[in-house]
A and B are shown apart, each in its own frame.
Chain A
Amino acid sequence: MWAGIILSLRQELMITILIFVLLVYKIGASEYKTNALLNGINLLLLANLIVGFFPCPDATSFSGMFHTNRLIVLEKNMLNLGTLLISLQAYDWLKSHRHVPEFYMLLLATLTGFFFMISSGNLLLFYLGLELSSIPLAALASFDLEKRQSSEGAMKFILSAAFSSALLLFGISLLYGATGTLGFDTIVQRLDGSAFQLFAFILILSGFAFKIAAVPFHLWTADVYEGSPVTVTAYLSVISKGAVFFIFIQLLYTVFKPIATSWYRILIILSVLSITVGNLFALRQNRLKRLLAFSSIAQSGFILAGVIGSSRIGEASVVYFILIYIFSNLGAFGVVSLISAQTGKETISDYRGLYANNPALSWVMAISLFSLAGIPPTAGFFGKFFLLMAGAGKGNYVFITIAALNMVISLYYYLKVVKAIFMDKPEQPIEKLVIPLLPNIAFIVCVAGTIITGLAGWIYDYIYSLSIGL
Chain B
Amino acid sequence: MNLSLLVLAPLITVVAVLFCRGRSSIRWVSLAGVTVQLILAFALLFLYWKERAAGNDSAMLFETRHTWFRALNIDYHLGVDGISVAMILLTAFVMEAAILVSWKIAPMTKEFFVLLHILSAGAYGFFLSLDLFTLFFFLEISVIPKFLLIGIWGSGKKEYSAMKLALMLMGGSALAFIGLLGVYYNTHTFDWPAISQIHLPLQAQRLWFPFLFTGFGIFTALFPFHTWVPDGHSSAPTAASMFLAGISMKLGSYGCLRVAVFLMPEAARIYSPVIILMATIAIVYGAFATMMQKDLKYMNAYSSISHCGFILLGIGMLTQTAITGAIIQMISHGLMTALFFAAIGMIYDRTHTRLVGQLGGLLKIMPFISTIFVLAGLCSLGLPGLSGFVAEITVFMGSWQHAGEWYRLATILACSSIVITAVYILRATGQTIMGPLKDTHYNGLGDAAWNERLAGILLTAGIVAIGIAPFWLSRLLTYKLN
Which of A370, A400, A415, A418 has most chain B Cβ within 10 Å? A415
Q: Is the CB of A457 within 8 A of B151?
A: no
Q: Is the CB of A423 within 8 A of B69?
A: no
Q: Is the CB of B140 within 8 A of A461?
A: no
CB-nearest residue of chain B to A370: B144
Given A376-B137, A397-B178, the answer on whether A412 and B71 have CB atoms closer than 8 Å is no
Which residues from chain A contact B170 at a C-beta distance below 8 Å?
407-408, 411
Binds B, one of A146-154, A231-239, A333-341, A381-389: A381-389
Q: Which of B180-219 contact A (CB under 8 A)?
A: 181-182, 184-185
Q: How far is the CB of B406 from chain A (nearest CB, A)?
A: 30
Q: Is the CB of A461 within 8 A of B69?
A: yes
Is B2 an interface residue when CB atoms closer than 8 A count as contact? Answer: no
Q: Which of B438-482 contact A (CB under 8 A)?
A: none
Bound CA–CA A329/B159 (angstroms) = 25
Q: Is the CB of B163 within 8 A of A401?
A: no
Given A422-B151, A423-B159, the answer on whether A393 and B185 have CB atoms closer than 8 Å is yes
Given A375-B140, A405-B174, A423-B151, the answer on whether A457 and B185 have CB atoms closer than 8 Å is no
Is B74 an interface residue when CB atoms closer than 8 A count as contact? Answer: yes
Which residues from chain A contact B70 at a C-beta distance below 8 Å?
457, 461
Bound CA–CA A316/B133 (angstroms) = 18
Given A313-B71, A395-B185, A460-B71, the answer on whether A388 and B163 have CB atoms closer than 8 Å is no
- Scan B131-170; emit 1 where CB is below 8 A from any A CB, else 0: 0010001101101100110011000001100110011001
Q: Is the CB of B178 within 8 A of A457?
A: no
Q: Is the CB of A461 within 8 A of B71?
A: yes
B68, B71, B147, B181: the one within 8 Å of A464 (CB): B71
Q: Is the CB of B159 within 8 A of A400?
A: no
Bound CA–CA A146/B65 (angstroms) = 59
Is A419 an interface residue when CB atoms closer than 8 A count as contact? Answer: yes
Q: How far is the CB of B451 from chain A (nearest CB, A)?
A: 27
Q: How far is the CB of A395 from chain B (nearest CB, A)?
A: 7
Bound CA–CA A464/B184 (angstroms) = 19
B138, B141, B148, B182: the one within 8 Å of A422 (CB): B148
Which residues from chain A contact B137 at a C-beta distance below 8 Å?
376-377, 381
Which residues from chain B contact A386 at a C-beta distance below 8 Å?
72
Q: Is the CB of A408 within 8 A of B151?
A: no
Bound CA–CA A41/B445 (angstroms) = 66
Which residues from chain A contact B138 at a C-beta distance below 8 Å?
376
Which residues from chain B contact A460 at a C-beta distance below 8 Å?
69, 71-72
Given A405-B174, A460-B69, the answer on whether A422 and B152 have CB atoms closer than 8 Å is yes
Bound CA–CA A87/B147 (angstroms) = 34
Is B67 an interface residue when CB atoms closer than 8 A count as contact? Answer: yes
Q: Is the CB of B178 within 8 A of A401?
A: yes
Which residues from chain B contact A407 at a C-beta distance below 8 Å?
170, 174
Is A84 an interface residue when CB atoms closer than 8 A count as contact? Answer: no
Q: How far is the CB of B17 from chain A (nearest CB, A)?
A: 15
Q: How far is the CB of A62 from chain B (nearest CB, A)?
A: 33
Bound CA–CA A192/B236 (angstroms) = 62
Number of A interface residues in the complex (CB < 8 A): 34
Which residues from chain A contact B181 at a C-beta distance below 8 Å?
388-389, 392, 397, 400
Q: Which of A393-407 contact B (CB under 8 A)?
A: 393, 395, 397, 400-401, 404-405, 407
Which residues from chain A contact B143 at a C-beta distance below 8 Å?
375
A381, A389, A400, A412: the one within 8 Å of B140 (CB): A381
- Scan B65-90; emit 1 where CB is below 8 A from any A CB, else 0: 00111111010000000000000000
Bound CA–CA A388/B69 (angstroms) = 16
Q: Is the CB of B174 within 8 A of A457?
A: no
Q: Is the CB of B185 within 8 A of A392?
A: yes
Which residues from chain B contact A464 at a C-beta distance below 8 Å?
71
Which of B71, B140, B159 has most chain A Cβ within 10 Å? B71
Q: Which of B85-119 contact A (CB under 8 A)?
A: none
Q: Is the CB of B163 within 8 A of A389?
A: no
Q: How far is the CB of B170 from chain A (nearest CB, A)?
A: 5
Is B177 an interface residue when CB atoms closer than 8 A count as contact? Answer: yes
Q: Is the CB of B177 within 8 A of A457?
A: no
Q: How far is the CB of B386 from chain A (nearest CB, A)?
A: 37
Bound CA–CA A370/B147 (angstroms) = 12
Which residues from chain A contact B182 at a C-beta distance below 8 Å?
392, 397
Which residues from chain B contact A397 at a C-beta distance below 8 Å?
178, 181-182
Bound CA–CA A412/B169 (angstroms) = 12
Is B171 an interface residue when CB atoms closer than 8 A count as contact? Answer: yes
Which residues from chain A contact B171 at a C-beta distance below 8 Å?
405, 408
Q: How far is the CB of B177 from chain A (nearest CB, A)?
A: 6
Q: How far is the CB of A371 from chain B (nearest CB, A)?
A: 11
Which residues from chain A contact B175 at a C-beta distance below 8 Å?
404
- Scan A422-465; emit 1 where CB is below 8 A from any B CB, else 0: 11100000000000000000000000000000000100110011
Q: Is the CB of B141 within 8 A of A389?
A: no
Bound CA–CA A397/B183 (angstroms) = 12
CB-nearest residue of chain B to A416: B163
CB-nearest residue of chain A to B166: A415
CB-nearest residue of chain B to A363: B111
Which residues from chain A contact B158 at a C-beta distance below 8 Å?
423
Q: How far is the CB of B9 from chain A (nearest CB, A)?
A: 16
Which residues from chain B contact A375 at a C-beta distance below 8 Å?
140-141, 143-144
Which residues from chain A contact B163 at a C-beta distance below 8 Å?
412, 415, 419
Q: Is the CB of A457 within 8 A of B152?
A: no
Which residues from chain A contact B69 at a C-beta distance below 8 Å?
457, 460-461
Which residues from chain B contact A422 at a C-beta distance below 8 Å?
148, 151-152
B71, B140, B167, B185: the one within 8 Å of A408 (CB): B167
Bound CA–CA A418/B148 (angstroms) = 9
Which residues from chain B contact A313 at a C-beta distance below 8 Å?
71-72
Q: How far is the CB of A207 from chain B (nearest CB, A)?
A: 32
Bound CA–CA A423/B163 (angstroms) = 12
- Scan B396-410; emit 1 where CB is below 8 A from any A CB, else 0: 000000000000000
Q: Is the CB of A457 within 8 A of B144?
A: no
Q: Is the CB of A376 within 8 A of B140?
A: yes
Which residues from chain B contact A461 at a C-beta distance below 8 Å?
69-71
Which of A385, A386, A392, A424 has most chain B Cβ within 10 Å? A385
Q: How far is the CB of B71 from chain A (nearest CB, A)?
A: 4
Bound CA–CA A453/B69 (angstroms) = 12
Q: Is the CB of A419 within 8 A of B151?
A: yes
Bound CA–CA A229/B133 (angstroms) = 40
Q: How far is the CB of B128 from chain A (nearest CB, A)?
A: 16
Q: How far is the CB of A279 from chain B (nearest CB, A)?
A: 13
Which residues from chain B contact A388 at a C-beta distance below 8 Å?
177, 181
B72, B141, B162, B178: the one within 8 Å of A377 (CB): B141
Which of B72, B158, B162, B178 has most chain A Cβ within 10 Å? B72
Given A375-B143, A415-B147, A422-B148, the answer on whether A408 and B72 have CB atoms closer than 8 Å is no
Which residues from chain B contact A385 at a C-beta distance below 8 Å?
133, 177
CB-nearest residue of chain A to B147: A415
Q: Is the CB of A423 within 8 A of B184?
A: no
Q: How far is the CB of A354 from chain B (nearest CB, A)?
A: 13
Given A381-B137, A419-B151, the answer on whether A412 and B167 have CB atoms closer than 8 Å is yes
Q: How far is the CB of B228 from chain A (nearest CB, A)?
A: 12
A-B contact pairs, 23 of them (CB 8 A): A313-B72, A376-B138, A377-B137, A381-B140, A388-B177, A395-B185, A397-B182, A404-B175, A408-B171, A408-B174, A411-B170, A412-B163, A415-B147, A415-B163, A418-B147, A418-B148, A419-B151, A422-B148, A423-B151, A423-B158, A423-B159, A457-B69, A461-B69
Q: A375-B140, A400-B181, A412-B167 are in contact. List 4 more A-B contacts (CB 8 A).
A: A404-B174, A405-B174, A411-B166, A418-B147
Q: Which residues of B contact A (CB under 8 A)?
A: 67-72, 74, 133, 137-138, 140-141, 143-144, 147-148, 151-152, 158-159, 162-163, 166-167, 170-171, 174-175, 177-178, 181-182, 184-185
